Structure 1
Amino acid sequence: MTASTNIGAVRGVNTSANEQEQNRVYAKVFWRIMPFLMLCYVIAYLDRVNVGFAKLQMSVDLGFSETVFGLGAGVFFLGYFLFEVPSNILMHKVGARVWIARIMITWGILSAAFMYVETPLQFYVLRFLLGLAEAGFYPGIILYLTYWYPSHRRAKVIAVFMSGIPVAGILGNPLSGWIMDAFHGTTGMHGWQWMFVIEAVPAVLIGLATLAYLDNGIAKAKWLSDSEKKLLEDEIAADQKGKESVHSFADIVSDKRVWLMCLIYFCFVMGQYGLTLWMPTLVKATGVTGNLHIGLLSAIPFGCAIIAMNLIGRSADARRERRWHLIVPALMGAVGFVGAALFADNTAISIAALSLAAAGVLTCAPLFWSLPTSFLSGAAAAVGIAAINSVGNLAGFVSPYLIGYLKDLTHSGATGMYMLAIMLVIGSAAVLKTSPTLVNK
């Protein structure tokens, strides 16, 4: 055996040992922060979209039309849009622990206040304020994860975090239906009023827990040894080399890559909120009765989404390929929406189609965030992520409003489903415009 062979063998052993140590440390980080962040997102998403379930009683009790409900559901995202960039900048300055706690506590209080809604104007105002309160939570967490994970490890952890969306659907829809049925008439309050109050309490409690549990970053983590901190910090430093090509808000606005990200994310969010806010209504329209039964059937598509999100996220990280791992789920979502429209009167086929739609559209978002975070870091990431998320989430305003308007106009939900399918196809085409060197990381 030659000397060079011996050296190569030693290097191979050292490389393998280093990879094992990296995997051990990242596993430690994962189990420390990811279950907690996922719990936060489950609660956040539940309070954001439980209005879709409340609609089953609320619209009848208060006389809200489909258009009124759709506008109210969407107004949330106008407040979200206005305060998202300032919120992320503040989080980058004051730290995630205090800022995320503030977000959760204020949105919990406002969510409970929906029990007092009586008029469309009150509905609109509270939804707008809820959007202001919650602005910055989602992009703040995406930014927070860039403090811990390099680009090539991020798709998997973001997929785990965003599993909070389907988990909120699996747990929240049956829970919401049960609360509305079981508590209706208690102390003279409607079931939907009780739902808003009961589901707001965890947000406040977890917000307070955040102050004690969450660390601002690697340097503040007392549960890591000095050698573990150095390993993580070295990984982040190596990952950030050459990234920060944008340094100011003006750079963000003038960067064509950022605007392409906005377009892609807008299309995907159209599908996401079209699905999550209208799921109970779509299931009910197939002939299902009883809020609990609607909730249980609505949970099925979200269960399928959890499996798809995590399998495809792992595949994207293992292959370091993003483009087709985004395009295929988006097209799956489009096919699912078309199927749900064509078989709207058949419960079994409709649930199967909605399951395909959920698996597709909910898989897109975690994979998408590997794109902008591959060329943004530091302060640029704080502004860029928030800007992309805020523009993209305007789809959260457009999507429910258009679906409600089209349903009132045509007296059918099919047109709205076709519209969502078209948006997902446009998003897929936009992904093809991304640079292969950007997506293959």
Structure 2
Amino acid sequence: MPPSTVPLATTDASPSLGDPYSAREADTTFRKITWRLLPFLFVSFVVSQIDRTNIAFAKLQFMHDLGLNDAAYGLGASMFLLGYILFEVPSNLYIQKVGARATLMRIMLLWGIASVAMSTVRTPMGLYVMRFLLGVAEAGFFPGVMLYLSQWFPDARRGRITSVFLMSVVLSGMVGGPLAGYIMTAFAGAHGLAGWQVLFVYEGLPAIALGVVAYFVLADSPEQAAWLTPRERAIVADALRQKRSQATPGHGLRLALRDPRVYIAGFVYFAIFAGLNTLGYWLPSVLREIAASDLVTVGLLSTIPYCVSLIAMYACSRHSDSRRERRWHIAVALCVAAGGFAFVAHGDGSRVPVMLSLTCAMAASFSALSVFWTIPPVYLTGPTVASGIAMISSIGGVAAFLSPILVGWVKTRTGSFSLAFDALAVLLLAGTVVLLRGIPAHALRETSRSGSPGQG
């Protein structure tokens, strides 16, 4: 049989058409799926990231209003992750029972309402409570989408799809900073609210609208997608057939809790997310110290690291897909990120070197993140996948919870970010070692369509 055609396999989960399909036909099918799902998920995650990190810009105004110091702000920022972590695994298990459409709709509606309610905060305790509730509302969104994408795209295509989805995080940073600076400056006093209160209201409303749209845009699985033809559904099922054939009976959560692979991958994600989360919540404060005092300028400067990250993560994930190699792409990126944090900690504080170092740290961290999320669906198998992905995300959430608290504490005690950035550099290097020693290349190999194994 010519290499350009693939025999359509018979599976219980899909119709069998018998006739072979070409690589071009498969590309057309997955391109159709991409354009149906990715734009909506992309926009949704942009809004998600803006709503969870706009507190970094609101901080520049509400510190005085709420009587906070840097340590208290760090705790408030982290309370989001506490709620997120506690409810993440149950939310990801729930998505398997009721489907992606209902689950993602529920998450978007609730986090939009919670984000708007942030405008009512009047005390430090109120900040802690509302951030916790925002985390509860948004719990399960990211791992749920990762699981959802794994049910539509095979591993060979998932790297680029994942990177495109994760570019929404970068885009949120690119638009979120200038948008926050503009809203807080231009609309201060609107509706009788302070600028930071208007920010929470205006940026929370889009999530509520997206929750309604989700019901009409998403399908729970390829088999239920009325916008795919029977042949297209069969092509998708065939592409996913090998992964499904690896499933084994058992209880997913119980197996995941006993699976050391979950904790190995979780530590790597812990290291990646600690660096990214620190930059997400503290970048505006660092920029205000070294570069500017007005909100609009801080917002504009904050876009520079995100713009570079957008290019870097796509290039890294594309190269990773073309080589079918994951581990070393992540390892090199983690080392570059560690170097960036270390240089900020030990540099002379000059504006340009600090900006370059922060940009390298962020771009490398995002590159590692985009490739990392191609590993769990392949590294884990059978019923462990859904629970394992949620647990890995939760372990990363622990890093996201601890990092703002520790950075805020260090900044309050020492007046500098240096010690905190040193610790992040060491953590990223430790993540590199665990990745290369704990996740063997052979564990990431899948048989390609030509019959040759992919590389890890």
* Same fold (TM > 0.5): yes
Find the aligned partners of 1:330 and 1:85 in 2 and give their Cα distance.
27
Partner of 1:144: 148
Partner of 2:126: 122
Structure 2 residue 309 is the aligned partner of structure 1 residue 318: no
Cα displacement string for residues 47-89 of structure 1 (whole angstroms, at most 9, x for unaligned residues): 0111111111111222201010001111111111111111011
Work out whether residues 107 and 130 of structure 1, in 8 Å CA contact, stay in contact via their aligned partners in 2: yes
Tell which deviates more after alignment, 185-194 or 216-225: 185-194
Structure 2 residue 217 is the aligned partner of structure 1 residue 213: yes
Partner of 2:13: none
Find the aligned partners of 1:17 and 1:99 in 2 and give their Cα distance.
34
Find the aligned partners of 1:61 and 1:413 in 2 and give their Cα distance.
24
Mapping for residues 22-421 of structure 1, pairs under 5 Å = 22-242=26-246, 244=248, 247-343=251-347, 345-376=349-380, 379-421=383-425
Unaligned runs of 5+ in 2: 7-19, 445-454
Partner of 1:4: none
Instruction: Give the partner amino acid of 2:246.
Output: G
Cα 1:187/1:229, change in 2 over 3 Å: closer
Alpha-carbon offset, residue 120 of structure 1:
1.1
Cα displacement string for residues 220-253 of structure 1 (whole angstroms, at most 9, x for unaligned residues): 1122111110000111112333255864322111
Alpha-carbon offset, residue 378 of structure 1:
5.9
Find the aligned partners of 2:208 and 2:257 in 1 and give their Cα distance.
36
Instruction: Give the partner amino acid of 1:69.
Output: Y
Structure 2 residue 2 is the aligned partner of structure 1 residue 11: yes
Cα displacement string for residues 160-214 of structure 1 (whole angstroms, at most 9, x for unaligned residues): 1011111000011100011111112334321100100000011001111111111
3-state SS of 1:393 partner: helix
Instruction: Give the partner amino acid of 1:278.
Output: W
Instruction: Give the partner amino acid of 1:131.
Output: G
Work out whether residues 121 and 127 of structure 2, in 8 Å CA contact, stay in contact via their aligned partners in 1: yes
Work out whether residues 162 and 366 of structure 1, in 8 Å CA contact, stay in contact via their aligned partners in 2: yes
Cα displacement string for residues 345-378 of structure 1 (whole angstroms, at most 9, x for unaligned residues): 3222222111111111112222112221103356
Q: How many residues align?
A: 432
Work out whether residues 164 and 314 of structure 2, in 8 Å CA contact, stay in contact via their aligned partners in 1: yes
Cα 1:244/1:288, change in 2 over 3 Å: farther
Structure (1 or 2) with the greater helix fraction: 1
3-state SS of 1:356 partner: helix
Find the aligned partners of 1:271 and 1:246 in 2 and give their Cα distance.
35
Cα 1:244/1:77, change in 2 over 3 Å: farther
Alpha-carbon offset, residue 25 of structure 1:
1.2
Work out whether residues 109 and 200 of structure 1, in 8 Å CA contact, stay in contact via their aligned partners in 2: yes
Work out whether residues 329 and 360 of structure 1, in 8 Å CA contact, stay in contact via their aligned partners in 2: yes
Cα displacement string for residues 76-103 of structure 1 (whole angstroms, at most 9, x for unaligned residues): 1111111111101111110111110110
3-state SS of 1:148 partner: coil
Find the aligned partners of 2:250 and 2:440 in 1 and give their Cα distance.
17
Work out whether residues 107 and 137 of structure 2, in 8 Å CA contact, stay in contact via their aligned partners in 1: yes
Instruction: Give the partner amino acid of 2:37.
Output: I
Work out whether residues 4 and 23 of structure 2, in 8 Å CA contact, stay in contact via their aligned partners in 1: no
Cα 1:62/1:386, change in 2 over 3 Å: same
Instruction: Give the partner amino acid of 1:437.
Output: H
Percent of matched pairs sharing the same residue:
37
Alpha-carbon offset, residue 261 of structure 1:
1.0
Tell which deviates more after alignment, 413-422 or 276-285: 413-422
Cα displacement string for residues 93-137 of structure 1 (whole angstroms, at most 9, x for unaligned residues): 101111101101100111111111111111111111111100000
Aligned Cα root-mean-square deviation (Å): 1.6
Find the aligned partners of 2:271 and 2:191 in 1 and give their Cα distance.
44
Cα 1:69/1:154, change in 2 over 3 Å: same
Find the aligned partners of 2:250 and 2:312 in 1 and give their Cα distance.
34
Instruction: Give the partner amino acid of 2:442.
Output: T
Cα 1:172/1:99, change in 2 over 3 Å: same
Work out whether residues 252 and 386 of structure 2, in 8 Å CA contact, stay in contact via their aligned partners in 1: no
Work out whether residues 252 and 385 of structure 2, in 8 Å CA contact, stay in contact via their aligned partners in 1: no
Cα 1:188/1:13, change in 2 over 3 Å: closer
Find the aligned partners of 1:118 and 1:264 in 2 and give their Cα distance.
38
Alpha-carbon offset, residue 259 of structure 1:
1.1
Tell which deviates more after alignment, 410-419 or 240-249: 240-249
Structure 2 residue 440 is the aligned partner of structure 1 residue 435: yes
Work out whether residues 246 and 252 of structure 1, in 8 Å CA contact, stay in contact via their aligned partners in 2: no
TM-score, reference length from structure 1: 0.94
Unaligned runs of 5+ in 1: 1-9
Cα 1:246/1:310, change in 2 over 3 Å: farther
